[in-house]
Amino acid sequence: MEIIAKIVGLASGFALMRSHKAPLDMIATSLMVDAALAPLTAVIAVRRGRSAMRWVLAGFALGMWALAYVLIVMPRQPVEPAHPESPPRPPTSDAA
Q: Please name the amino acid found at residue 67.
A: L
Over residues 7-39, the pLDDT tens digits come to 777 777 766 777 677 878 878 888 888 888 899
Q: What are phi and psi of 59, to 5 degrees?
A: -65, -35
pTM for the full predicted model: 0.65
Q: How far is 29 from 19, CA to CA, in rounded Å?
A: 11
pLDDT band at 40 (very low <50, low <70, confident <90, very high): very high
Element (H, E) at 15: none
Comparison of pLDDT for 88 and 68, the residue scoring more: 68
Residue 3's Cα: distance from chain center in Å?
Answer: 23
The Cα 62–Cα 58 span in angstroms is 6
pLDDT for the residue numbered 57 = 92
